[in-house]
Amino acid sequence: MSRKPIIAGNWKMNNNKAEARELIDGIMYGVSQLDGDKMPEVVVAPTYTALWQVYDIIKNEPKISLAAQNVNPNPSGAYTGEISLSMLSDFKVKYVIIGHSERRQMFNESDEFINQKAIAILNSGMIPIICCGETLEQREQGVTDVHLEGQITKALKGISAADVEKSVIAYEPIWAIGTGKSCDAAEANRTIGQIRKVVAKLYSQATADKIRILYGGSVKPSTIVEQMAQSEIDGGLIGGASLKADSFIELIKGAM
Ligand code: PEP
């Protein structure tokens, strides 16, 4: 199965203008030293306020794509504090992260809202990175697979097979995010295999074989090689270890 791997850095609410510049300059330099044919797709997701600057720096570097950390699915209007897809398209944003557990938990985002975002993103020609993941309690109760099936089924509601094939899912166990405690690679592989089976059940095996499913949750340079060696894991969505150019470049190398 040839699915192009993705290494995506989610900068979250980090990096002012100068910090964003330093980070993207470091990533640009590191990437320039690597063989583009062997590289995974490299994606960076800065804050909205750094999008313009990062876009301007990477715009002639085809090895790096831009992602937004969120979007509002409405085209425009009275949504104070929100950002539309048309605004993101000004910066040639390719991917939009949706359904991150921090947004689900801290901002009460529902599965239905995440589904609206996925549909709007795909209609605009961008690609959603749809996050899903279980809490520690759900894992201990043995309901991980059922919970993920529910999240994925609801997120993909009404989306065509052709659009699902382009989309990206990120499996991010909540107990592994920002904790330094990555999910065991074999278990992450098993769980992602289950998510792929859900896609096969909803669509077809051919669609399930095409969608890229990333692992996220305390991915580090010391874990990436084992994670990327798993047959179901198509890359990583990375928070903490994406905030330093050196470690992000190590992650990219680990996926080559
Ligand atoms: C994330 O927030 O998507 C994430 C995986 O964070 P970290 O790598 O810091 O666990």
Distance between CA 217 and CA 238 in Å, rounded? 7
User: How do residues 200-247 score in pLDDT, each as one tens digit?
Assistant: 999 999 999 999 999 999 999 999 999 999 999 999 999 999 999 999
Query: What is the value of pTM for the model shown?
Result: 0.97
Tally of domains within the chain: 1
Indicate the top mutation candidate among 13, 102, 177 to test ligand 1's pocket, ranked by most ligand atoms within 8 A of CB.
177
Could you tell me if residue 235 is inside a domain?
yes
- Full residue range of the structural domain in which residue 163 is found: 6-254
Could you tell me if residue 1 is inside a domain?
no
Could you tell me if residue 233 is inside a domain?
yes
User: Which of 108, 253, 239, 106 has the alpha carbon at shortest distance from 170?
Assistant: 239
Could you tell me if residue 231 is inside a domain?
yes
CATH number, domain containing residue 104 = 3.20.20.70
Pocket of ligand 1 (CB under 6 A): 10, 172, 177-178, 216-219, 237-241
Indicate the top mutation candidate among 69, 172, 214, 233 to test ligand 1's pocket, ranked by most ligand atoms within 8 A of CB.
172
User: How do residues 32-60 score in pLDDT, each as one tens digit?
Assistant: 999 999 999 999 999 999 999 999 999 99
Could you tell me if residue 97 is inside a domain?
yes
